[in-house]
A and B are shown apart, each in its own frame.
Chain A
Amino acid sequence: MILPRPAILRAVMIKDLRLFWPFTAAIVALAVLALGLQLTGLADLGGAKSIWACGQLAAGFLMIALVQQDPPSSDTHDWLIRPIGKLELLTAKALFIALFTLLPLAIGYAAIALTGGASPSAVLEALGGGTISAMVTVPVIMAFASLTRNIGLAIAAAIALAVVDILLAITSPQNAVQAEPVRWLLSKPAAAIMLPLSLAAMWLAYDRREMVKSRALFAGGAAILLMLVSYIPASALFAAEQALAGNAAAAAPVKLSMAPGCFADAREKEGMPSWITTKANKDKRSQAAEKFALDMAGSFAPVAWTPQELDDAGPSPVAFTTRVDSSGVPAGDRLVVDHVQGGFVDTQGHNLVSPKIARRLASTFRHNGQNDFEESWLMSRPQAAALTNARFQIDYDLTLMKPTATYALPADGQKRHLQGLGDCSFKSVSGKAVIQLVECRLSGAAPAMVVTRVDGYPDKHGQTSYAPKWLQLGGESYVLDVAPSRIVDPTAPVPSVTAVTLTTYEAVSHVHRDVLAPPGARGGPASACPL
């Protein structure tokens, strides 16, 4: 294999520029438009994000079309009989992507971020992180494009992969709140595997011209990775995180116990409307599920269970709520639930039935960083009747979080540099779903967790991850919505908010705890067992 010759690189790039300049022009135009919206103060409108997304989409299409212009899968394309080395061709394509696709995006991004109040260092850090990210994703996109002959086939292949992903998610046997904070144990190695996999696929395609093997390697590798991501149990991930982190002693004093009292069978009081479980009207079903979630949680939740889960539970299903209290948590620390699953067990501890946990409800709103946890569960009425005297066991995978820094941020929308965190602003946005947002461009690695506290609202935390700092790209954007509970009653007055307190946390120790409810704890009337 010969080293890339500048004259050849130049010739191929000029040829591609002559063919694809409209794409590059479109990307530049979209970036300029997004910048214009920023400068005119209209960036908060949804259009700005859409424009930016269009720019990224155009960039993706350009990358695919660029590679497919001179595909290895063909036996008729002109480049195959020209004195262009395979490495030269790929280098020319990669340089084109860098100069005429990513560079306009990066310049546009930097301009938008700087005019939006971000510091130059934060922007540079973000661009550095973006560069590293591009070094992984661009070869994957190029490999994907090189194995498909045209945009139509590329879209079809992408849809096929998405369908596989959805099928895997549907068929995944897990019935638990997913352990999002430890997902890095899958996502980072998956990205690390996809890079050499893509390079190997391109080597097979371009150098060996073994298209069948190349496609099999790439598609098979991607499918296996998707399968691993879907099928590796969250508990196994948590165990791996535990083993990597060590320091179990720090959380040794932490104990969980069932809150005294019983679990209300919420729906026994009113009975679940039958139209929840019919398929006649999808929107109606969603509204019904939402209403049900609202009733259950007492606060806004999009959907507690999916319509499919409600269907599966049969007519008039039973839902109940459990509450678990913690003790032994050092003052100021927080106990975060990473993964939870529950089931009815017999006297020997064997699992009888695992009710469906309200995943979104639990992961989004119940585990708000407080040291007590509520979960909602769904099961069929016959099952509930048969298990009146069975005991209910809940398994928790928990992480003890220690605060590292606290910051105050006025609600004036101005970007401020928070030492150790990044450039953040707090602003109110008029809209249907979210009224207050904290936006940060993190400098350095993201903290394991950031909690927002605003008077009049429950504490909230953003995306939590225990990924080691050395594995994180700098300059990530971070958005925290502060006040979702108002949506429960849209007519209620919005509390006046003048400032938000941000607290960053680090993970100290990961522990597993299980709690066992006595027989008959489920099923009290709502009046005796208030939600």
Chain B
Amino acid sequence: MIIQTEHLTKRYGRHEAVKDISLTVPEGAALALIGANGAGKTTTLRMLLNLAQPSSGDARVLDKNSRALSATDFARIGYVSENQKLPDGLTVDQYFDYLRPLYPTWDNALEADLRHRFDLPPGRKLGKLSHGTRLKAVLAAALPFKPTLLILDEPLSGLDPLVRDEVMESLLAQAGEMTIVISSHELAEIEGCATDVAFLDRGRLAFQEPMETLTGRFRDVSVTLDDGATVPQALPKTWLAPRRVGHTLQFTDTAFTSDAMLAAQAAALGGVKSIDARGMSLRDISKTLMRSYRQEADQ
């Protein structure tokens, strides 16, 4: 495993930002870490990189306790964060001059390619770059050494669609060679490259599973009912956010296996005219889950 955490917990005073998280990321995987704001994504990533110390539990990264990550380990880890504080007084050129000797595996051709693709102004100081260009500079600095593990914390935040595409293209070009952990709210963009999804809810890991499994078991369902059909109070717990609109019952099935099975479940409602089950995007799945967890918390 490239990453393995066990009961990872982080407390700030009385507030538990991360609670008892155990997750694994195998080599070559691209894990999308998703969840609402304040779910604990950034704190988890920081603990993986020893930027924050766990209050309890362990995180192993590249087969090493994250607290013991050394300089040689960081030569294999790339990190991109919108909050990364750069040496703002350096120009883009000077920044890359600084980074190049730090990494024995630095690929000058890849650096040139990325800088060209991102159109980074060589002579401009990092502190004078726009938010988007700055993020592109950070990303361009995280790839040329071909990291074994790439951790991305909101790498697309605040970027315009064109730049997002550029960033994702660059990532996808490298994706096969490295393990990626990406935390982002731009789920449409990361859906294409994520192989696994971990969902955090208020500091807890709600689930972690392969993307294929997740998108396979989530369906946006519309059941058209006969006139006079009544919807029973007790619906299957795997049906999230059920709502009746006229003659239609809409819900999200979180345990979809097959159309036949869904039809059998729906038949229990009585008076079913038709069933329409559509696959859901990661963005829609995420929204449904967030809404559901929020309701659960409110109750």
Q: Which residue of A lies closest to B142 (CB)?
A: A81
Chain B 77-135 interface residues, beta-carbon cutoff 8 Å to A = 77, 79, 81, 83-87, 89-90, 94, 97-103
- Name B51's contact: one of A7, A14, A75 (CB within 8 Å): A75
Q: Which residue of B lies closest to A88 (CB)?
A: B71
B70 & A80 in contact (Cβ 8 Å cutoff):
no
B85 & A76 in contact (Cβ 8 Å cutoff):
yes
Q: Which residue of A lies closest to B89 (CB)?
A: A19
A18 & B85 in contact (Cβ 8 Å cutoff):
no
B85 & A82 in contact (Cβ 8 Å cutoff):
no
Chain A 97-129 interface residues, beta-carbon cutoff 8 Å to B = none
Q: Which residue of A lies closest to B88 (CB)?
A: A19
List A contacts of B70 (CB < 8 A).
1-2, 85
List B contacts of A431 (CB < 8 A).
none
List B contacts of A2 (CB < 8 A).
70-72
Known contacts A15-B90, A69-B87, A80 near B75 by CB under 8 Å: no
Which range contains the number of B residues in contact with the other chain? 20 to 34
Chain A 70-101 interface residues, beta-carbon cutoff 8 Å to B = 74-78, 80-85, 88
A8 vs B89: C-alpha distance in the bound complex, in angstroms?
Answer: 19
Give chain A nearest CB distance to B113 CB in angstroms. Answer: 21
A209 & B53 in contact (Cβ 8 Å cutoff):
yes
B53 & A83 in contact (Cβ 8 Å cutoff):
no
Give the total of A residues in contact with B, Cβ under 8 Å: 25
A11 vs B95: C-alpha distance in the bound complex, in angstroms?
Answer: 10
A10: CB under 8 A from chain B? Answer: yes
Known contacts A7-B101, A75-B52, A76-B81, A15 near B71 by CB under 8 Å: no
B293: CB under 8 A from chain A? Answer: no
B84 & A83 in contact (Cβ 8 Å cutoff):
no
Instruction: Tally inter-chain residue pairs, CB-CB below 8 A.
Output: 70
Interface string of A15-28 (1 = CB under 8 A from B): 10011000000000
Most chain B CB neighbours (cut-off 10 Å) among A7, A12, A74, A75? A75
Most chain A CB neighbours (cut-off 10 Å) among B52, B73, B99? B99
A74 & B71 in contact (Cβ 8 Å cutoff):
no
List A contacts of B239 (CB < 8 A).
none
A77 vs B86: C-alpha distance in the bound complex, in angstroms?
Answer: 6
A88 vs B101: C-alpha distance in the bound complex, in angstroms?
Answer: 14
Known contacts A80-B51, A209-B50, A11 near B85 by CB under 8 Å: no
Q: Which residue of B lies closest to A210 (CB)?
A: B53
List B contacts of A14 (CB < 8 A).
97-98
Give chain A nearest CB distance to B85 CB in angstroms. Answer: 5
List A contacts of B90 (CB < 8 A).
15, 18-19
B49: CB under 8 A from chain A? Answer: yes
Known contacts A75-B51, A82-B99, A83-B103, A15 near B79 by CB under 8 Å: no
B71 & A83 in contact (Cβ 8 Å cutoff):
yes
Known contacts A10-B101, A18-B94, A84 near B85 by CB under 8 Å: no
List A contacts of B94 (CB < 8 A).
15, 18
Known contacts A8-B101, A75-B46, A85 near B89 by CB under 8 Å: no
- B residues contacting A by CB (< 8 A) are 46, 49-53, 70-75, 77, 79, 81, 83-87, 89-90, 94, 97-103
Additional 11 contacts, C-beta under 8 A, given A11-B98, A11-B99, A81-B49:
A1-B70, A2-B72, A8-B102, A10-B101, A11-B101, A12-B98, A76-B85, A78-B84, A81-B77, A85-B70, A209-B53
- A residues contacting B by CB (< 8 A) are 1-2, 7-8, 10-12, 14-15, 18-19, 69, 74-78, 80-85, 88, 209
